[in-house]
Amino acid sequence: MSNFRNKKKISNFHVPLDLRHPLKPTKRMLSFQGLAELAHREYQSGDFEAAERHCMQLWRQEPDNTGVLLLLSSIHFQCRRLDRSAHFSTLAIKQNPMLAEAYSNLGNVYKERGQLQEAIEHYRHALRLKPDFIDGYINLAAALVAAGDMEGAVQAYVSALQYNPDLYCVRSDLGNLLKALGRLEEAKACYLKAIETQPNFAVAWSNLGCVFNAQGEIWLAIHHFEKAVTLDPNFLDAYINLGNVLKEARIFDRAVAGYLRALSLSPNHAVVHGNLACVYYEQGLIDLAIDTYRRAIELQPHFPDAYCNLANALKEKGNVSEAEECYNTALRLCPTHADSLNNLANIKREQGNIEEAVQLYRKALEVFPEFAAAHSNLASVLQQQGKLQEALMHYKEAIRISPTFADAYSNMGNTLKEMQDVQGALQCYTRAIQINPAFADAHSNLASIHKDSGNIPEAIASYRTALKLKPDFPDAYCNLAHCLQIVCDWTDYEERMKKLVSIVADQLDKNRLPSVHPHHSMLYPLSHGFRKAIAERHGNLCLDKINALHKPAYEHPKDLKASSGRLRIGYVSSDFGNHPTSHLMQSIPGMHNPEKFEVFCYALSPDDSTNFRVKVVAEAHHFTDLSQIPCNGKAADRIQQDGIHILVNMNGYTKGARNELFALRPAPIQAMWLGYPGTSGAPFMDYIITDKETSPMEVAEQYSEKLAYMPNTFFIGDHANMFPHLKKKAVIDFKSNGHIFDNRIVLNGIDLKAFLDSLPDVKVIKMKCDNNQEAAGDTNGALSMPVIPMNTAAEAIINMINQGQIQVTINSFTVSNGLATTQINNKAATGEEVPRTIVVTTRSQYGLPEDSIVYCNFNQLYKIDPPTLQMWANILKRVPNSVLWLLRFPAVGEPNIQQYAQNMGLPASRIIFSPVAPKEEHVRRGQLADVCLDTPLCNGHTTGMDVLWAGTPMVTMPGETLASRVAASQLNCLGCPELIAQSRKDYEDIAVKLGSDMEYLKMVRARVWKQRICSPLFNTKQYTMDLERLYLQMWEHHSNGSKPEHLVKFQTVENSENA
């Protein structure tokens, strides 16, 4: 914005109006007086040549006349003949050493020459000679300003005004000085007094507008600028200032009008052309902005601001190379042009030249340490490089400099979120929105916090707000799509999927980071190539971060000498604690053969004080908490120093991952395992541990890694260790009508056998596991199930359930209500300990019908899609006496599922929802269902193991992704391939047969119950041995100097021992 001051003025010269002699006039004197008045009029009109000619005539007549000498001094000064001006002032002083005006004129010459101290001394001398010399005070003030003595200048102006308070121009100049000193209220008082003295003084109105603008009073500023141009329609600076404040207020049409009026007054004003171009840019008139910037440059070729802004517009048009050239031109004109340094850094960053970008940001900050945008941009790059603390420091600097910098608040929120400071991130996003309610990115970031916190309705609302503000916002759209998937809101589902796929296609085509997260890509109809490319982009982000560390490549162990012949395995996970991954594998570190393997576990999360963490810490040979080493470089150093041979990535792209550690390659072999259902897409991961059912060779191109097959299934569960009380069960024959059900009232417990031995009349029925047993008359392989008749003990148990009691004592045994586990033993409820009571689980506890077929699915609701619900509705219609049991996971999804089911012709009563339960109850209550219906889109992985351990058959239909084939792998390993469907029709038919043919259902249930113990599916010891053989294959391949290849032929025990 212009400086709102008057145009530069020549210092005030004393030009005497009265050159008459004091004596009685003669004819010669009258001639002298007339000539003097003529010379004075010519001087005032700017005809300095004529004025000088007539003054010289006067001087020849009276060489000692000080008035003539002063006028000659003034004329020569205006003509820039400073020496001649000083000469005549000196002559005047010789004639009259007390002539204050001559000292003042001589001071003006010194000031113009830049000899400020000499000028100030002459002005002060003039004022000593003549204390009421107003022009002397004004000239002194100007010299003091030039010398940097602002307070002295203020006092000089004040002194002038004491002698004449009506000098409105001087009062306005004093206001300018006070404004420059930041004393805005005092400046405002000066301008108001000037206007009071001269209401039509346009300059004061404009200057007062400047003060209001500085105080944030935009509308008052606009009013005063408009008043200034009304008073003076040719007031160029006021029109410029009006345009500037309207531009800042984003009143673009009126800003354009103000600038155009200024250009009508001064068509070649380059700065106004530049400002006008900025408005066109903000209006989205990019082509017009470019033309106008070019005009500004044409008028002022050495105009770095214009080049910088032109570059911004060219970049917006996609002309990145030309934009880069313009930024460089601006920097050639002005190497310290901070905006150009910052904006050029932005281009370098987008081009992937991260280090060059960092250098440019830092240089911009060297030039201009208070450059808030550069602090924020540098922080963003540092965050990308994983330097979170340094990034946070720069964001805080940006906000200190610019407390209303909404972008900095929003980006700082992202950093705090990455640092797991959710509350801090929430505060930052909220503050950003308070500052700028139309800030779409902040609304989107706030939505992400709500989403991660499980507050899905709030997340959906914030994403929708972001999209209203910014319709073309891929991140917000894709995250909204995921939220809607979580709550099963399938409004315009097909259109949403089409748009999401097109967004990903466009982003991949432009080599941008896709807005769909790798872990979510399995939920959408994306091609294998797209899913792999999404993962690859995220892998490349990890490489970008570690490249910034400039670490040399690690030396890796080439043999097993340093480890005494043992293979060192490093398991890296953020989930060593109460997490499904630990529920699956917590026993494996302790089951490795210590003679051949040395186990290292690296935790990426702090200790959660659960028994899961305690077990892994105790049973691994070495345990390191890398959450205490936030620097990826130092954490990788620690792994490398341990001499790891095979480093295992158990996170992939799940929460808490630090794939940067793997990108640094601290181990010679690196493998994906268990925790992430897909490819890493990363060149630094060598293998993915899988199996032939989950990852058949014909889809190997889906993976960036080489396939390493386990012999049965790559999946494992520690259920036999965590839930041994579910190995056996007994039921109560509550109907006593000859129809005994294995899943209406179920008893489990470590002491179940002893408890049953204490009861009278307990009978054992045999349940065949397949048709061949009946044909052969074989009952040895049949399942034995104890049945408690309706006796006193049974009645006591049923009364406990019906009355909501916590537990009862029967024959010295404690029998507990299955809903009260958390009240009895919280660690037993979480699965950290085994319940010590006999636990009772009944359908009545969950509102399940006693006489119906109960189909269940205990997955999170996001795994359900419209085709899956349609299949389930079809099944329920074909099995009239059946219900579907789902979880409120989340609860806000329940009404949507119910509504869509009703639209499919299914009454609401046919679907029963239960709340999410603690782990032990969650697994145990799976016994109550007859059949589990798996979600084909994304199978139940841990949930599938949970329901199979409960003895409930699971129907699945494998798809094309890893996530959709896990359940088939589990069922094959279990020995129940007949539950794997090959089509939608097959899926429905299998489920309907199980729900319609009671004998077949009993047989399949008996087989599942038996096979979970007999098959390898839950055999962690056998699994560990198989895993060891696979590790040995990897190491043998590596030690032979071979690059990773698919390991699909599993070695025999003998071969592995020879290795």
Which of the 8 DSSP states describes residue 455?
-
Domains and their CATH numbers in the chain:
439-545 (1.25.40.10), 549-717+1022-1040 (3.40.50.11380), 852-1021 (3.40.50.2000)
User: What's the rounded Cα separation, in Å, for the pair 698 and 190?
Assistant: 85
Specify the pLDDT at position 1. Answer: 32
Under the banding of pLDDT at 50, 70 and 90, the label for residue 30 is very low
Average pLDDT of 33-44?
Answer: 84
Average pLDDT of span 189-200: 91
Query: In this structure, what are the phi and psi dihedrals at residue 314, rounded to the nearest 5 degrees?
Result: -65, -40
Which sign does the torsion angle of CA 662, 665, 666, 670 carry?
positive
Distances (CA, A) of 415 to 349, 412, 561, 980: 18, 5, 43, 45
- The pLDDT, as a whole number, for residue 10 is 39
Dihedral, 670, 676, 678, 680 alpha carbons, nearest 10 = -40
Q: Is residue 281 over pLDDT 60?
A: yes
Q: DSSP 3-state assignment of 708?
A: strand
Lowest mean pLDDT across 225-239, 669-683, 772-786: 772-786
Average pLDDT over residues 1023-1027: 99
* Predicted confidence (pLDDT) per residue in 629-649, tens digit: 988 999 999 999 999 999 999
For the segment 255-271, what is each residue's pLDDT rounded down to a tens digit?
999 999 999 999 999 99
Mean pLDDT of 777-804: 88
Distance CA 680, CA 542 (A): 11
Residue type, 636: A
Do 429 and 445 meet the contact criterion of CB atoms below 8 Å apart? yes
The answer to whether 616 touches 586, Cβ cutoff 8 Å, is: yes
Task: Find the helix packing angle between 998-1014 and 966-974, rounded to 10°.
Answer: 90
Q: How confident is residue 29, by pLDDT bands cut at 50, 70 and 90?
A: very low
Task: Evaluate whether 297 touches 307 at the Cβ level (below 8 Å).
Answer: yes
Q: Which helix (H) or strand (E) holds 828?
A: helix 826-829
**Per-residue pLDDT for 161 more than 70?**
yes
Average pLDDT of the residues in 310-339: 96
Residue 369 pLDDT greater than 50, yes or no: yes
The stretch 71-94 carries a mean pLDDT of 88
519 is catalytic: yes
Torsion of CA 296, 300, 303, 306, to 10 degrees: 10
Q: Looking at residue 736, what is its pLDDT?
A: 65
Sheet holding 911-914, edge to edge: 911-914, 882-887, 853-856, 931-933, 954-955
Q: Side-chain half-sphere of 392: how many Cα atoms within 13 Å?
A: 14
Q: Using 50, 70 and 90 to split pLDDT, how confident is the model at 215?
A: confident
This prediction's pTM = 0.80
Omega of the bond leading into 16 within 30 degrees of 0 (cis): no
State the DSSP string of 210-221. Answer: HHHHHTT-HHHH
Residue 1002, pLDDT > 60, answer yes
Catalytic residue among 40, 54, 224, 519: 519
Cβ pair 494, 866 in contact under 8 A: no
pLDDT tens-digit map of 505-538: 999 998 899 999 999 999 999 999 999 999 999 9
Q: What is the DSSP letter of 787?
A: E
Q: What is the mean pLDDT of residues 553-571?
A: 96
- The predicted pLDDT at position 742 comes to 94
pLDDT of 1057 strictly over 80: no
Angstrom distance (rounded) from CA 496 to CA 513: 20
> What confidence tens digit (pLDDT) does each residue in 853-862 have?
999 999 999 9
pLDDT tens-digit readout, 976-985: 999 999 999 9
Phi and psi angles of residue 604, each rounded to the nearest 5 degrees, phi first: -100, 0
Give the residue-averaged pLDDT of 616-629. 97
Which residues, 6+ apart, have CB-to-CB distance to 435 below 8 Å? 404, 405, 406, 409
- pLDDT tops 90 at residue 473: yes
- Angle CA 770–771–773, to nearest 5: 80
- Hey, how many other C-beta atoms are within 10 angstroms of the C-beta on 393? 15
Q: In which band, very low, low, confident or very high, does the pLDDT at 40 lie, cut at 50, 70 and 90?
A: confident
Q: Give pLDDT tens digits for 395-442.
A: 999 999 999 999 999 999 999 999 989 999 999 999 999 999 999 999
Three-state DSSP class for 928? helix
pLDDT at 13: 52
Q: Rounded mean pLDDT of 826-837? A: 98
Within 8 A by CB and 6+ apart from 917, the residues are: 925
